[in-house]
Amino acid sequence: MGQYERVAELPKERIPQHVAIILDGNGRWAAAHNVGRSKGHLAGAENVETISDALIEMGVKYLTVYAFSTENWKRSEEEVSYLMMLLKQYLIKNKKDAIRRNIQIKVLGDKSGLSKELQLLIEDVEASTAHLDSFHLQFAINYGGRDELCRAMKKIAAQGMDAEEITQDTIAANLDTAGLPDPDLLIRTSGELRISNFLLWQLAYSEFYFSDKYWPDFTPQDLEEAILDYARRDRRFGGRK
Ligand code: IPE
Ligand code: IPE
Ligand code: MG
């Protein structure tokens, strides 16, 4: 069945329900090809479509992609505005396609820090796909795990809750990921071995997979290797078998 036979042969419970990706290495990919960083980001954006299609085919239900961190504002104005333009284009281009394929799109992160134009576009895409559920695609934009936790604490305080009433469920319900399952598998490309402020709460028991390839070079076959590697892991969640 399909192109990913080895994944198709896995028992269903060995396939991750939710994959999170720190797509990294666009800049180094561009340098290696003697082109500007923008070209790397463009190739990277195209690869998000390729990889999300492959995940859908493999039977994964949720994909969360780290597209722009709260720390990425430190980059040059030229790079930041190019990235924002790409995100805008991606949302415009993928809205129709998402509706046709029953895909829900959500943005995680502090939207208030984005341009009004991008905010309106995000609202529109989120509202138009909110009822769809074949696949769930989350984009983390102006996202930082610490910032998300800080905003969640503020929301809880504003609800006037007693300290005694606060549980782990209260915190989870006030994060940007409220209602989403935690990632089962986190993939980071480009050889960096860190999480760079991504999903600090949600990754508590995720399995990590690191690839040395730059993100634009990360293929569906590499993804298949990551899923097969995940399928071999023994997730104990602190218990003993
Ligand atoms: C990842 O690629 C994309 C974003 C962080 C937006 P980078 O731009 O970080 O690429 P490198 O790490 O400089 O190679
Ligand atoms: C993490 O990549 C952020 C995104 C992928 C959006 P960075 O390239 O910004 O992370 P560092 O600087 O290597 O930690
Ligand atoms: Mg990087």
Ligand 2, closest atom to CA 71?
Answer: 9
Give the number of other Cβ atoms within 10 Å of residue 185's Cβ.
Answer: 22
Q: Which residues line ligand 1 (CB under 6 A)?
A: 23-28, 68, 72, 83, 190
Q: Quick one: which ligand is closest to 25's CA? A: 1
Q: What is the pLDDT of residue 85?
A: 98
Distance CA 68, CA 65 (A): 9
Residue 147 · residue 110 · CB < 8 Å? yes
User: 22 C-alpha to center of ligand 3: Å?
Assistant: 9
Q: What is the pLDDT of residues 74-117, one digit of tens each?
A: 999 999 999 999 999 999 999 999 999 999 999 999 999 999 99
The mean pLDDT value of the chain amounts to 97
Domains, the chain, with CATH or none: 15-144+186-194+208-230 (3.40.1180.10)
Burial of 74 (0-12, 13-18, 19+ CB in 10 A): exposed
User: 83 C-alpha to center of ligand 1: Å?
Assistant: 10
The single residue of 34, 72, 102, 184 carrying the catalytic annotation is 72
Residue whose CA lies nearest to ligand 2 atom number 10: 196
Q: Quick one: which ligand is closest to 87's CA? A: 1
Instruction: Name 66's Cβ contacts closer than 8 Å, sequence gap at least 6.
Output: 20, 21, 22, 23, 140, 143, 196, 198
Note the pTM of the prediction, 2 decimals: 0.98
Q: Which of 22, 28, 68, 69 to mutate to test the pocket of ligand 2 (most atoms within 8 A of CB)?
A: 69
Distance CA 56, CA 62 (A): 9
Distance CA 170, CA 152 (A): 9
The one-letter amino acid code at 103 reads I
Give the pLDDT band (50/70/90) at residue 2.
confident
Q: What is the pLDDT of residues 170-196, one digit of tens each?
A: 999 999 999 999 999 999 999 999 999
Q: Tell me, yes or no, if 26 is annotated catalytic.
A: no
Strand extents, DSSP E, the chain: 18-22, 62-69, 103-108, 135-143, 185-188, 207-210
For residue 67, pLDDT beyond 80 = yes
Give the pLDDT band (50/70/90) at residue 1.
low
Q: What is the pLDDT of residues 10-59, one digit of tens each?
A: 999 999 999 999 999 999 999 999 999 999 999 999 999 999 999 999 99
The one-letter amino acid code at 30 reads A
Q: Tell me, yes or no, if 72 is annotated catalytic.
A: yes
